[in-house]
Structure 1
Amino acid sequence: MPRIGQRRSTTRRLLHGITRTLIPLTVIAGVTTGTVTPASAATPTLTVDLGTTTGALHYGASGALYGLYGPDIPTNNLIEGMGLQTTNTKAQDGQQHPGSDALEVAKPFVDSGGKDIMIYMTDVYRTFSYERADYAAYQAAMKTQVEQAMASPYKDRIVFVPYNEPDGMWFQGMRTQAGPLAAFNSEWRQTYDFIKGIWPQARLAGPNTSSYTESSLKGFLTYCKANNCLPDVVTWHTLGSPAEVRSTVDNYRAAETSVGIPSHLPINLNEYAHRYHLTDPGQMVQWISAIEDKKIDGNLPYWNINGNLGDSAAAQNTPNAQWWLYNWYTSMSGDTVKVTGAENDAAYTLQGLASLDTDKKQARVILAGGGTSGDSNTVIKNIDPTVFGSSVHVSVFQDRYSGYLGAAATPTRLSDTDVSVGSDGSVTIPITLDAMSAYEIIVSPGGTGSSTASDSTWTATYEAENANLSGSDHNINTEGTPSNVGGFATSGRQDVGGLRTGSDTVIGFPVTVPTTGDYKVSVFANSYRKDAQVKGPTNVYMRVDGGASKRVDLPVGFQWVVWGHSDATVHLTAGSHTISLATTGDNGAATDGDAIVDKIDLQYQDSSVQGTTVHEAEQASLSDNGTTSYTSQGQSGAGAVNLTSGKSATFWVYSERDGYADLTARYRNTGQAGLTVNGRTVNDQTLAGATAGAWSTSANRVYLNAGINKVRATGAGGTLTLDRLAVTPFSPTNAVTTGNVVTYQAENGTLTGTAAADTTYSQANGGVVTGIGNGTANALTLNVNAPEAGTYAMTMRYANAEELPSKHYNPDLMAEHADVRVNGGDATRVNFASTLHWNQFNDYTVPVTLAKGANTVRFTSSQLYNYDGTTIGLVYSGGGSDIGQPMRSSSAPHLDQVSFAPASLHIGASTGFSSTAVAQHSGLCLEDPAKSTADGTQYEQNTCGSGQEQRFDFHPVSGATDTYTIVNHSSGKCLDISAYSTANGAAVQQWTCHGDTNQRFTLKPVTALGNSQDYQLVAVNSGKCVDVSNISTASGAKIHQWPCDSASTLSTKKNQIWRLLGKS
C-alpha cells in the first residue's frame, strides 16, 4: 500500500485492479522531501492483532476535572461527542473557583451520556491549600454536601472525594513517612464512617494522592481493609509521564492482592497528563492507549480554565484537535485487541489502541508518534475472512494539531481504498507521521463499495523560529518539552516574540508552493489578556513578497503560549515566495498589542475537494451497534447502514461558522427515516425511499451552529438503507446567507436603565451595549421582523471578560448570562463562556420561536444564587482581597450585534435518484474516463460495468420541473457544459459543482423506443442535448452537446437517447 502522509498533491496507479491514492510528497515542518522509499526494517511499527481480544471497550480515558462550568458551557454536543464518562468537580456552592458546581453540572453531564460525578469536597474552600479551621468545621461542610447530594435526582451518579492531594496539603509527607500516613488513615476512617452514617449508600473515592507511591497505597489498603473503610474507587494522580500508567496500575493490583482484597477495586487516575501533552493529539494517544489498556478511568487535569473539557474545547461549542481524538476513541465499538507499539510502554514513541466489532464488521486503530515524526508502519494481522473477506476497505484520517484555542475542523480523510489481504491474513498500512497529529484507521470489508473522495491538497508547516527574523526587538522562546512537561505544547517547541507596539520586528517565512492558486495561511499565535499592551486581538500585517499588507488579528489567550490560529487567504504563483508578518502596514497602520508566533500552516485551497464534507453512514455512531451492510449496491465508501424503526446513525458535523449548509442524504429501499439537527426535527424533507433498488437523495438546508452539530437519522418504518451524509456550507457572502440572515446592531435597540452603547471597542461592528444586568430594569430590547412564524437561529456576537480575583494558577473566569424573553413570554436563560478580553468577541447561537411579523426580543440579567435559590454565594474565607465577592455573575455579556435566520429553509420536494445513463444507439454507458477527479475532463461512452465512474446522482433543481444537477459518484463533480458554451460540439465535461445553468439538465421523455426510462438530457444554458459525437458506437467516443433531435430523428439516430435505469 502506498505510504500515506500529510495532505499533498496526488497521482494514481492501478494495483490489484483497484485505483489507489499515491501520495508522492512528504512535508514536515516546512521541509519538502521526495517520494518515500519502501520502509526499512528500522521503520517504527505498530502491530494490531485482530485475533487477540483484550476485553470490552471501557472508554475510561474520557473524563475531565472541572470539565464543565454549567449548562451549555460547554454544550451538550461537545460533552456527548467526546463521550465523557466521568467528571470530578467542586463541591456545590464551593469557593475554589466560579462555576463547576457539582449539582448544577449534573444534568447536562448525565443528559450527554456521562456516568460518575466525583465531588472534590475540599473545594468548598477558596485556596488550593484548603484553609480549614479544624476537622469539625470540615465535617460540617461535608454534611451539607452529602445532604444536598441525597436530595438530587442524580444522587446515584455521585462519588465523594473527601481529600485532594492530601500528601501536599493537610498530611504532608504521607507518601514517604509513617506518621503523616497514620494520621491520614485515621482521619480517612473517621470521614468514611461520618459520610456513611449520613448516607449508607454513598460512594467514596480516595486516597487521591498527587502521585503513586507503592508503600503509602499499600499501607492505606492494609489499614482500610482491617477497619472496613476501603474506598469504592481508588484514586491517585499521574501527571508526569504516560509511561507510568501501566506500571503503576500493575503495581497497585499486586498490592491489592498482597493485602488480601478479594476483587479489584475500580481505579480512576482522576488527574492525568500535563501542559506539554494537552491539546496535542500526537502526545495524547499514548495516555489514552495506556488507560484503556488497563481498563481503568482517568480525568484530564485542570491546569488552565474550567468548562472546556480538560483543554478539549476551543470555545463554547467549538472543538480543538484533542476533542476529535476523544471523539474517535469513544466512537470505537466492540472489544479492544492486542496492540504492540514500537517500543511498547516507553513514552514519546509510536503508540496506539485498536478495536474490533464483528457485528459491525469493522476494526479501528488510533495511533500517533508520541511527538515523533517520520515513517511508520501499521500491521493489522489475523484478519478473519469470514468477517472481512479477502480484501478490506481502509480509510485513514489525520487529526492535525489546532492549538489550545484554535478551532479544529473534521479530521482529514487522507486515503480511502481497498487493499488485498495477504496470504498470512495481514495488511500493512504505511503512514508518514506528523509529530503533533493523531491518525485513525477504519477497516471494513472490501470489494463491494467505492472510494470516498480524500483530501490530499498540498499543505506545509513553517516554524517561526526557523524564519528570517529582522528588527531589533524579537526573541526566541523555548516552551514545553519532555523534560519540561509544565510548559505548553508548541510546534517545534519554540516560538518567536516581538510583534508588539513600537517594535520593528518582521518574521519572514520563505515558502515554496507547487501550484498557482489561493492558499490559506493559518498563523498560530497568542497574546496575553493581562499584558499592558494588549487591547484585544493584536493586529499584525501580512505581506507576500513585500506587496500590499493584509491585516491579521492574532487571538488573545488567558496566558502566554496558549495557541490559537488566525486564518487569511493569499494568492501565490507556483514557486518560491516570502510571507511576512510585521508590525507596520500600509498607510501608516501599526500594531497595537503584543503577540508571539509559533508557526504558519499553508494549505492550497481547492473548493472541489474542501467544499463538501462526506460522512459515510457505516462510519457513523450507530445505536444498538446498528446494522451495517456491505453488499454491492453502488454505495459510496465501504458499505451502508440499514435503519429500521428506532435505529439511528449519528454524525458529528463541524461548521466553521454559524450559518447555512445543505445536508444531503443518500439512501435507498422503501423505508423511512427522520432527521434531527441538534435535537430539533428537520421537517423540510424526510428520508423516504421511493423504490427497493434505486438510490435517492434529499437535501435539507439548515442553519448550523459554529462548531459541533449533532445530526441524527432515525428509522421511522420499514428498512431504509442510508449510504452517506454530505455537508456543503454556504459562505457569508452567498445569496443563501445574505437573503435569509438579518442582523440587528445592539446599539440600535431600546436601552433602559444602566444599559448603554459604547463605541470604544475596536473589534466591534459599531457600538456595543454594556450594562445589561443587576435586575430587569437594565435591559436591551430589539424589534425583530420575521417573514414567517417558526423556529429561528439567534446568533449573538458578544464579549465577556468577567473574572474573580484569584491567587490560583488557574484564572477564575466567570460565565455571564442573559434571560431572553420573546414577545413578553417566559425567559430562556442563555449562558455565555468567557471570551478572555472585553475587546475579543465570539458568536453563540440558540433557537428562538418568532411569530410572523413584528416581535420583541428582550435581554436582561440578574444576580444568580446558590443551590438553595435564595442565598448569594460569596467568597468568605481564604484571606484574599476577594472576600465578599459574589461567586456568580449578575450580568449579561457586552452585546455587539444579534442576527436572526430561519432554522431551516424549504428547497423543494425530493425527487432525486441515482442511475447509470446508457446510450441507446451503442449500448455503452456515460462515464467519467479513468475515474478522473480533474475539472474539465470530457466525458466518454464506455462498456457498461459496475464502477462508480458510470453512476450518477440526479439532484432536483428547486423550482424547475424535471431539471437536475447530475453528480458523478467517482469524482463527486457535476456534469457541465464547457465554459457555458451555446455552440454545437461544446464538450460535456465534469466540473466542481456550483449549480449554475450550465450544470442543469432537463429530462425530456422519449417514447420512440417504448421504454419509460428513456430521456434526452437538455442543457438549460444552451437548450441543446447531451450527444455522443458522430453517432459513434466505439468505446471512448466523446460526449458533447448538439441540437436536440426531433422525435422522428430520435428513432433512427438514438445517440441522444439515454436510458436511466434508476429512474422510476
Structure 2
Amino acid sequence: MKKLAVLLSGALLLTVFPIAPVPATAAVPATFTVDLANQYRPVTHVASGSLYGLAEEGRPADNLIAPTKPKMFTQMAPNGGQLPNGETTPIGDALKVAPIAERNGAQVTIRMPDIYPNFPYQWVSWDDWYQKVDSIVDARLKSGATNIYGYELWNEPDGTWNTGAAGSFNEGWKKTYLRVKAKDKNTKIIGPSITHYNESWLRNFLTYARDNNVLPDIISWHELGAPEGEYLDGPAPQYISNHMKAYRALETELGIKHVPISINEYGVVSEQAVPGNMTRYIAQFERSDVDTANIAFWFRPGRLSNLVTDKGAANGAWWLYKWYGDMSGQMAMTTPANPTALDLDGIASVNNAKQQADVIVGGGNGNRNIVVKGFASLPYFSGNAHVKVESTPWYGVDTAVSQPTNEFEGDFTIENGQISVPLSQLKESSAYRLVITPGKQSSISRYEAENATIASANIFNNPNASNRKYVGTIDNQDSSVQFTVNAPVAGNYNLKIGYANGTNAQSTQELSVNNQASTTIQYPTTDGWLSQGNSNTLQTSVSLKAGSNTLKFNKGKTGYAELDYIQLQPVGDFKVRIEAEDAKINDATVSRSSFASNRQFVGKIDNPDSSVSFSVYAPASKTYHMEIGYGNGTTGNSTHNLSVNNQASTVITYPKTGGWIANLPNVGTRQIMTVPVTLKQGENTIVFKKGTSYAELDYIEVK
C-alpha cells in the first residue's frame, strides 16, 4: 500500500494513515442510480430466508433472527434424518422450528425428501416413499401450524431422482402431488426445485404438469450462478433477471397461470454470506418478481446460513441482512452501472411515514458514485438531503462484528431532484448502507468544498464530484478554501481530503487549523482533474477544540490541486488491518474462500523461498499486539519464521485448525492467534516465511 508523506507543524499531528495507490490511469467512477420516484412494490424482505437456518430453540437466538426480518425458511421434513455435510447435531425439522419462525415473522417450507438420512437421497421403494409422504402430511396437519409456506415435494430432481428405480420424475411428481392433495388440499405445493434455471427441463415438466392437472402452486429452482457460472466459485447473479423474464414468458407460452417464484437456494460456495457478494443476489431478486429466496446451505446449520459465528454472535454478513430487515415502505428501483457484469449492485426503499430512504450496495471495488434521484416526488425533501454512510466488512464467518463502521455523514444539495454521493475505496466483499433523511441533521462528518468560504477560486459543476460540485482554480497566492467544522469533543480527528491533482507531479497546499501555523499537504497526482472523473483521497490527523473550528487550505508552493470535500472522524485506538492477498507475495498463491477475511487468503507457502511480506506503518516505537488469521490443515503444529525489519527471525507456531481455509464441506476453517511484535515509528516490514511445516495466511491486524 502507498503511504502519504505529510510535513508536520503547528496543529497537525504526527499520525498518517495508509491510502489506496493511485491508478496509473484513473477511470471515471461508475454510477449506480437509485430512483426514489419509481417505487415498484412493497418491502417484503424477499431474500431474507435461509436453508436449514434454524436448528432448535436458542440456536440461533431470537435477537439474531428477528432483526433480519426473515420471510421464509426451508427446513427438513418432520422426523427426518438428514444430517448433511457430516453434521452430528440436529438441523431442525420444519415443524419443530415452525414456532420459532412464526414468532419471528417467518414461514417454513417442508423439504419432504429430507426425511431420508443421506444426500444424495437413497431411494427405497414407492411403498416406502408413500409411507414417508403420509407421515409428513399427517404430522403437518396434526401440528396445526399456521405458517407453513408449502411442501417441497423433491429437491434437485435433475441430479437426485433415481429414474431407474422410481420411474420418470414427472410421473413421480404426479403420484406424490396427488398423494399429498388427497390428504391436504390447502397447503401449497412447491417444485420442481431443480439445481439451476433450465428452460428445456422446465418446459417438459410444466407441460406434463399442465396436461395432468398437477401444476405446482409455487415454482422453485436454485440460483447458484449455474449454468452461466459454477457452484463452487463461478458466480453469475447478473443473469438472474434474464431467468425470471424467461420463466414468465414460458408460463405465457404454455398458457398456465403465473405463480409465485421461490428461489429455495442462492449463492455459490465461495460467496457464502459475504456481504458485498450477497447484495448482488438480493438486488436481482427484489427487482425480478421473486416471492421468497433462501441463502444456500454449504457449511453449517442453525446459523442463518453463516450470518452467525460459531459462538452465536453477529458477523459482518448479519449486519447486511439486519440493514435489509430495517427497510420498510416501498422498494425503489435501482440501476447498476454495468448490468451485465459481476459488479456493484444494490437495493433501495422509501418510507414516507419515516421520511427516510435507505440504499444498500455491494459487490464492487474502487471508487463509485451513487446517484439518488426522484426527490421531487417526496415533498418532505427540500433543499438538502442528509446522508449517513455505513459499511460492514467480511472478516470471515467466525469473526464477530459488533457494529457497522460509520464512514461519514453530510448534507448534500438536491439539484434537479437528485444528489450524487461518491463512495471511495470500496471492497467487493463489503456492503454499504446510505440512510437518507431530510434537512440538516446535527451530526456531520463530511463537509463539501463548495459550501466553504472561498477566496480567489471557483466552484464548478460536475457529476463526478461529491454533491456534483467542487472547488478549482485555487491557483493564486491569495486563493483559499476555509471550512468551518464542528467537533463534539476536543481531541484528535482523522481528516480525509477528497481532491484532484491533474498535473504530472506532486502538488501541495498549506493547511492551517484555527489560525495556527500551517503545514504542507502533499497531493500525489491523480492523472487528471475532477472534470475528467479523476480524483482520490488522502488522510492525515488534526487536533480540534470542542465546538467550532476552522480549517483553511491555501495554495501551496508547487503545482495545483482541486478540493472536493473534507471528512472528519474521531481518532480511536491505533489499529491497521492488512489482508495477506494485498501483501508482497513470493512463491505462494492467492485463493478465494468465504471462510477468509475479504474472501481471499494466501496459501501454498510451501517452499524454502515462499514468503508473505507486509508493510505496516506504526505511529510510535513500541510493542504492539499482532493478530494473525491462519489455517493449518496438517495433523499437528505448523510454523512460520517471522522477521521484522530484517532482524533475526522468530518462530510462530500455529495449532492445527482441523482443515485448510477453503476446505469443503464444513471442515474448512480459519483460526486467529495474537503475538507481540515490536515496531519502530514509521514504516515497518513484517515477513512470514515457511517454517518446519505448512500454514496459510489470511490477514494480520496490528493494534
Instruction: Decide: shared fold, TM above 0.5.
Output: yes
What per-residue deviation string (whole Å, max 9, x for no partner) do you get for residues 921-951 of structure 1?
Answer: xxxxxxxxxxxxxxxxxxxxxxxxxxxxxxx
Task: Indicate the SS of the match to 1:386.
Answer: coil
Match of 1:598 in 2: 698
Partner amino acid, structure 1, of 2:591: E
Question: Deviation at 1:164?
Answer: 0.8
Distance in 2 (CA, whole Å) between partners of 1:9 and 1:380 is 36
Q: Quote the residue 1:967 is aligned against.
A: none
Residues 146-185 of structure 1 correspond to what in structure 2 (within 5 A)?
Answer: 146-170=137-161, 183-185=168-170
Distance 1:70 1:166, change over 3 A: same
Give the Cα–Cα distance (whole angstroms) in 1 for the partners of residues 351 and 677 of structure 2: 45
The 3 A distance-change label for structure 1 pair 261 and 516 is farther
Counterparts of 1:527 and 1:257, CA distance in 2:
54
1:336 aligns with 2:327: no
Matching of residues 161-560 of structure 1 within 5 Å: 161-170=152-161, 183-240=168-225, 241-262=236-257, 264-296=258-290, 297-344=292-339, 346-368=340-362, 370=363, 372-384=364-376, 386-451=379-444, 454=569, 462-464=578-580, 467=583, 476-480=588-592, 491=598, 493-498=600-605, 507-513=612-618, 521-528=626-633, 531-533=634-636, 544-545=644-645, 546=647, 556=657, 560=661
State the distance in 2 between where 1:10 and 1:572 align: 20
Equivalent positions of 1:941-960 (< 5 A) are none
Give 3-state SS (helix, strand or coil) of 2:443's partner.
coil
Structure 2 CA distance, aligned partners of 1:205 and 1:361? Answer: 38
The residue type paired with residue 464 of structure 1 is: A
Report how far residue 498 of structure 1 moved.
4.6
Letter in 1 for 2:251: E
CA contact (8 A) 2:219 2:262 kept: yes
Deviates more, 1:353-362 or 1:69-78: 69-78
* Contact 1:382/1:426, CA 8 A, preserved across alignment: no
* Paired residues of 2:391 and 2:406 also in contact (CA < 8 A): yes
Corresponding residue of 2:686: 579
Question: Do 2:150 and 2:189's aligned partners in 1 also have CA atoms closer than 8 Å?
Answer: yes
Greater RCO (Cα-Cα under 8 Å, separation 6 or more): 2
CA contact (8 A) 1:555 1:566 kept: no
Q: Distance between the aligned counterparts of 2:354 and 2:623, measured in 1?
A: 41
Q: CA deviation at 1:335?
A: 1.0
The size of the alignment, in residue pairs, is: 546
Letter in 2 for 1:275: V
CA distance in 1, matches of 2:260, 2:302: 26
Structure 2: runs of 5+ lacking an equivalent: 8-14, 84-88, 226-235, 446-487, 489-568, 663-668
User: What are the Cα deviations for residues 191-218 of structure 1, in whole angstroms up to 9, with x where unaligned?
Assistant: 1110111222222110111111112223
Q: 1:465 to 1:200 in 2, by over 3 A?
A: closer
Task: Report if the CA contact (8 A) 1:69-1:307 is conserved.
Answer: yes
> 1:397 deviation in Å?
0.8
CA distance in 2, matches of 1:225, 1:200: 18
Q: 1:448 to 1:304 in 2, by over 3 A?
A: closer
Distance 1:448 1:210, change over 3 A: closer
Find the residue that maps to 2:151 and give its secondary structure. strand
1:86 aligns with 2:75: no
Give the % identical residues: 28
| Deviation of 1:504 (Å) | 10
**Distance in structure 2 (CA, Å) of the matches to 1:109 and 1:204:** 19
Q: Distance in 1 between matches of 2:277 and 2:194?
A: 24
- Structure 1 distance, partners of 2:96, 2:676, is 43
Cα distance, 1:154 vs structure 2: 2.3
Task: Please give the per-residue CA displacement for 1:363-422, whole angstroms capped at 9, x wherever unaligned.
Answer: 111112x2x421111111122462123112111111111112222231100101222222
Cα separation, 1, equivalents of 2:57 and 2:695:
33
Q: Deviations over 1:12-31 (max 9, x none)?
A: xxxxxxxxxxx997734xxx
Q: Deviations over 1:979-1032 (max 9, x none)?
A: xxxxxxxxxxxxxxxxxxxxxxxxxxxxxxxxxxxxxxxxxxxxxxxxxxxxxx
Contact 1:394 1:441 survives alignment (8 Å): yes
The residue type paired with residue 386 of structure 1 is P
Name the CA shift for 1:226/1:71 in 2 (closer, same or farther; >3 Å): same
| CA–CA separation in structure 1 for the residues paired with 2:336 and 2:686 | 40
CA deviation map 1:880-931 (0-9, x unaligned): xxxxxxxxxxxxxxxxxxxxxxxxxxxxxxxxxxxxxxxxxxxxxxxxxxxx
Distance in 1 (alpha carbons) for counterparts of 2:158 and 2:187: 24
Rounded Cα–Cα distance in structure 2 between residues aligned with 1:445 and 1:184? 56
- Distance in 2 (CA, whole Å) between partners of 1:258 and 1:10 is 67
- 527 and 152 in structure 1: CA distance in 2 versus 1, 3 angstrom threshold: farther
**Counterpart AA for 2:682:** G
Distance 1:413 1:7, change over 3 A: farther
CA offsets 1:556-583 (integer angstroms, 9 cap, x no match) = 3665324454456756443111234468
Q: In the alignment, is the contact (CA less than 8 A) between 2:639 and 2:651 conserved in 1?
A: no
Aligned partner of 2:545 in structure 1 is none
Structure 1 SS opposite 2:390: strand
Query: Would you say the 8 A contact 1:286–1:347 is kept in 2?
Result: no
Q: Is the 8 Å Cα contact of residues 77 and 317 (structure 1) preserved in structure 2?
A: no
Partner SS for 2:172: helix
Residues 33-59 of structure 1 show CA distances to partners (whole Å, capped at 9, x for unaligned) of 59x99x86x321101111211111121
Please state whether the residue corresponding to 1:193 is helix, strand or coil: helix
Structure 1 pair 552/419, CA: closer, same or farther in 2 (3 Å)?
Answer: farther
Q: Give, in angstroms, the shift of residue 514 of structure 1.
A: 5.7
The 1:201–1:424 alpha-carbon spacing in structure 2 relative to 1, beyond 3 Å, is closer
Query: Quick one: which amino acid aligns to residue 95 of structure 1?
Result: G
Q: SS at 2:270's partner residue?
A: coil
Cα displacement string for residues 98-142 of structure 1 (whole angstroms, at most 9, x for unaligned residues): 412222222322222322x11221112222231121122111111
Distance 1:191 1:436, change over 3 A: same
**1: distance between equivalents of 2:144 and 2:623?**
55
Question: Once the two structures are superposed, what CA deviation does each residue of 1:838-897 show, in whole Å capped at 9, x if it has no partner?
Answer: xxxxxxxxxxxxxxxxxxxxxxxxxxxxxxxxxxxxxxxxxxxxxxxxxxxxxxxxxxxx
Where 2:387 maps in the other structure, the secondary structure is strand
Q: 1:748: which partner in 2?
A: none
Cross-structure match for 2:539: none
The answer as to whether partners of 2:596 and 2:661 remain within 8 angstroms in 1 is no
Secondary structure of the equivalent of 1:395?
Answer: strand
Cα distance change on mapping 1:555 and 1:47 into 2, 3 Å: farther
Give the unaligned 5+ runs of structure 1. Answer: 1-5, 12-22, 174-179, 482-486, 585-590, 606-1064
Map residues 898-913 of structure 1 onto 2, 5 A cutoff: none
Deviation per residue, 1:339-369 (Å, 9 max, x gap): 111112x24212111111111111111112x
Change in CA separation of 1:521 and 1:44 when aligned onto 2, cut-off 3 Å: farther
Contact 2:631–2:659 (8 Å) recurs in 1:
no
